[in-house]
Amino acid sequence: MVETEQEEEEEKSPEPEMSRSRRRRFKASNISFVEMVDTLKRADYDGKYGPYPNHNVRKAKIMAKVVKSLHRKFGVWRSKDQLRKRWSDLKIREHDQYRRIRRVLLNSK
């Protein structure tokens, strides 16, 4: 009888919920970064293919689309600033990973 009471207490006790900060902290998969690179390349984020008026406004709109796309497809919440930094890091510091992503994109087409 004592054992059944203990089991009932364990079943009744609510599971500890994750705090908001822990729920938000998750690593985006590589596929989400492939999606980000693909979107930024298609939209000519770096402005290589022409002079654009109001290039900062244009970049902000493109990045907003990337934020929405990553959240909708992968459930990843990233701010525009975080994605800008990641894009910069991919191009400059993490050139090997950037090349691998480009290779994946070229093979998928």
User: pLDDT tens digits for 4-25?
Assistant: 555 555 445 444 444 444 444 4
CB 36 within 8 Å of CB 87 = yes
What's the number of CA atoms in the CB half-sphere (13 Å) around residue 96? Answer: 0
pLDDT at 35: 87
pTM for this entry = 0.65
Condensed to tens digits (0 to 9), the pLDDT of residues 78-96 reads 899 999 998 988 888 888 8
C-alpha 109/C-alpha 104 separation (Å) is 9
pLDDT at 2: 53
pLDDT at 4: 54
pLDDT at 24: 42
C-alpha 62/C-alpha 3 separation (Å) is 60
